[in-house]
Structure 1
Amino acid sequence: MTHQTSAQNQRAIDLARETLAIEAEAILTLQKNLTQKNAEKFAYAIELLLACKGRIVVSGIGKSGHIGRKIAATFASTGSPAFFVHPAEASHGDLGMVTQHDVFVAFSNSGETSELTAIVPIIKRTGAKLIALTGNPESSLASLADSHINVSVEKEACPLNLAPTASTTAALAMGDALAVALLDARGFKPEDFARSHPGGNLGRKLLTHVRDVMRGGAEAPRTNIKASITDALLEITSKRMGMTVVVDDSQKVVGIFTDGDLRRLIEKNIQFQGTSLKDAMTPNPRTISPDLLAAEAVEMMERHRINQLVVVDANGALMGALNLHDLFAAQVI
């Protein structure tokens, strides 16, 4: 393994800083230019996407194609059916996937990409709307577009000013801006995002409800208020939750008896036989509905600094219980 000299290391660091500065400036320039005419074109693009009755078809070639694939995925994951089509493949049959109800989004820095300019007239004839993101407002794609969004940059971050760097960053940022504005216009909510990401951490948090992780039925620790403290201790040991829920004859929750309550009795030298469970329990425990999200149970536990929650129905009757271990096991936290 060869080691670079300190001068070579410093040059690498300087180039990294310059690259980040150039690309950051490119995005800031886009933001500054999003006024008046450019803003109107952006807003019209959102109108077209929002009115789309079919799907959003994204296309581009080379580095612009990579950006297009990412933006298509972002549209799809935020409530707008979308897919990517390679312009060269479109010329050989894939163009049949585009219908009059679709919106075609084309990425091309030059706006003159031959593979795109060859298929765009056909796409326009089908009746599909065209949104073009290019760095050249005078290009062929820009002139054919129903809405052209200017993503031009002053220069690339590449020292040779050749490799697509700042231009692809600008296109990516503007594509994300379209996706974010569109999801907001659709009224897209976190729950909607979770439904399209059921395998991810956010999906688990937003799709997992308390009833999915609680211990219900015979697994829920419960002790009648008329029972002895010894009975409560046996239930705590049996159910391994560090507590038992205290209920009345109608199964309504009246309290909770925990390991902490037990320690306090011992510290005060209180005899179990002469003490009723009602006097030893903690009344009015924290409760939660089974229909709430498990993430809300986590928030409640953290806010009140507790490790267990009692799950009750609308009438206050015991339905189950859960603790931090259950939430960890469900990968909610």
Structure 2
Amino acid sequence: MSNDSEEPVLLRTEGRAARIILNRPRALNALTHEMVTRIDAALTEWEHDPAVRTVVISGAGARGLCAGGDIRAIHDDARAGDGTASAAFWRDEYHLNARTARYPKPYVALMDGIVMGGGVGVSAHGGVRVVTERSRIAMPETGIGFIPDVGGTYLLSRAPGELGTHLALTGNQVGAGDALSCGLADHYVPSDALDTLLDDLAAMPMAEALARHEQPVPKGVLTEQRTWIDACYRADSVEEIVERLFAHGGTEAKEAAETLLAKSPTALKVTLAAVRRAGRLGTLEEVLDQEYRVSCVGLRSHDLVEGVRAQIIDKDREPHWSPATLAEVTDADVERFFAPLGDRELGLAGPGGTLSGPGGTTDAAR
């Protein structure tokens, strides 16, 4: 019999609830390919089990649900591999992201603590998204020379005004109040009530259990900053966004501009294009197809390897981006990230943008 401490994801049923527990606490529950395939297999089993009425995903340890994908493995594949391992991981991960969005039973994500990158992908597309006073949610990819994925550009493109553009480009973390106002979460429950909430989810219908513990949403800060965020980030280029931020004169706007100038210039320009294009696409599946193209090209970029080296491996926090400035990143440089992959396409959306799999619209169960 396997030891639970050695299993990267724990799967169990408790009463009427099935549990997914990401179980790599020392790695902040970072997702591996094995974890993705195990979760997907469990969702298949539970979908057809009448005893399972609700599925709940949470993270082991006290630090958070999930800090993202296993970026070291992706870095090693980008630096020395042929890219097939990362492409296969993303293929299965993005399929899982789409699946959770249209899962036919309540999918409850406990977004407690750190929830970033791939952690957003396995939680924020679910029908019931719970945050706490400890939640810190972000898509921080531009800081490592990458572009938001796992459906992150879908979610951020649909945030009010230009809030999603701000979060996608800066990679800034948000707490519970801002997560709800940006459409990344639905309910607020204090962290000290989560254990009791889990007990109740095992014993009663999801809505009844949630009503016992949900509290008023704490106030966020982004809504009050909408005026300058919308005015600055509605610009057509990253260069103009930076200019508007500096010209605004406010402390927060200046800090945002300085944050952007520390990120990968290529990643910033591709991210802005990806978010804008995601806003014009109709379904999550179409956006995931686009993100897959972008990710596969990004894997071969200088900036991903350099960004992970600087931020995670050597931790010198001094990445040397190439190109080094926004002005050096051409329209052609950006456009190649969106080029069709031919027979290597993800293919989640069928002809005309219709879903290739069962389940109907991805916005169900919100």
TM-score range, shorter chain: under 0.3
TM-score, normalising length from structure 2? Answer: 0.19
Using CA pairs under 8 Å that are at least 6 residues apart, name the structure with larger relative contact order, 1 or 2: 2
TM-score, normalising length from structure 1? Answer: 0.21
* Structure richer in strand, relative to its length: 1
